[in-house]
Amino acid sequence: RAGYESASRHFNPADVEVDVAGRSFLVTGANSGIGKATAKEIARRGGTVHLVCRNKERAEVAKEEIVTETGNLNIFLHIVDLSNPKEIWKFAEEFQNEHKLNVLINNAGCMVNNRELTEDGLEKNFATNTLGTYIMTTALLPLLEKAADARVITVSSGGMLVQKLNISDLQSGSGPFDGTMVYAQNKRQQVVLTEQWAKAHGNIHFSVMHPGWADTPAVRSSMPDFYERMKNSLRTEAQGADTVLWLAVSAEATKLPSGLFFQDRQPVPTHLPLAYTHSPPEDEEKLMQMLEEFSQKFKSVSPG
């Protein structure tokens, strides 16, 4: 929290005091934590907000809260499990037929501390954080390509700074399984995805960010020891969401190049000094190719 308080002295409040009525935003993982805080702030500014959540009951409570607190009725709910690639493809196909989209916010994530497989045989952290983000973005690119001032923001984590991209074991099948490190590897992959997308899609502004360590349900449940030690110095959910909001609505954000990694409204390096975390360009291209192959396996044409 101290880092946020110090950085925020230099923020220009006018950057986020904008009316975004008529613009459409999709936020994944929007029923709690940073996703809900972001959705609420966009709703306050008049945006149309699509909440993409896995848990229907919790999502309906969150939607009700956002509508009540902001008075904005243009809040729509979609129930999608981001660890299920078939569901994401199906959702994106239907969404494109019915809605427009200006800004995609990839916020949903999970940190499962034991190696768990989804019904498709995918390791759950990879399925949600990396493949889910990849498919959701790729599937909605055609819609974003048509939009004015289109943006894609992915919520990563500073934990990725300790990881070098490893394409040899995307599903963490070999060696001992450490959920925290697997999550950090997924978050490194999200940074690489953002950089690659920025190169390939010049008329969409891509960014990836670290929200700082915030007091969210996800941190409490996935990292209980860390939470107990740090709970008095964690950011609030709104402080964690501040840079996501800034990247989603401010005119200032898109004056900066596409593909950067942000913390507290500033681009920051994606590697620590002297850290051996840089990967060769061919590994980054190979990651994109592998994810494309994975994603196509789950893209159904009509049955039969």
Cα three-residue angle 93-98-102, rounded to 5 degrees: 85
Q: What is the pLDDT of residue 225?
A: 76
pTM (2 d.p.): 0.95
Q: Are 171 and 123 in contact (CB under 8 A)?
A: yes
Q: Which of the following is catalytic: 134, 183, 227, 276? A: 183
Order of all β-strands in the sheet with 204-209: 75-79, 48-53, 24-28, 103-106, 150-155, 204-209, 260-263, 266-267
DSSP, residue by residue, 80-149: --TT-HHHHHHHHHHHHHH---SEEEE------SS--B-TTS-BHHIIIIIIIHHHHHHHHHHHHHTSTT
| Domain spans, the chain | 1-297
- Catalytic residue check, 183: yes
pLDDT for residue 295: 97
Mean pLDDT of successive 10-residue stretches along the chain, which has 304 residues: 90 98 98 96 98 97 98 98 98 97 97 95 98 98 98 96 96 94 97 98 98 72 70 84 97 98 97 94 98 94 47
Residue 92's nearest CA partner among 77, 76, 78, 107 is 78
pLDDT value of position 237: 87
Of the CATH numbers 3.10.20.30, 3.40.50.300, 3.40.190.10, 3.40.50.720, which one belongs to the domain with range 1-297?
3.40.50.720
**Residue 148: its pLDDT value, please?**
96
Q: Which two tokens stand for residue 109?
A: 């994530």
pLDDT of residue 75: 98
pLDDT at 182: 96
Phi, psi of 16 (to 5 degrees): -105, 0
Supply the pLDDT for residue 248. Answer: 98
Q: What pLDDT sits at residue 18?
A: 98
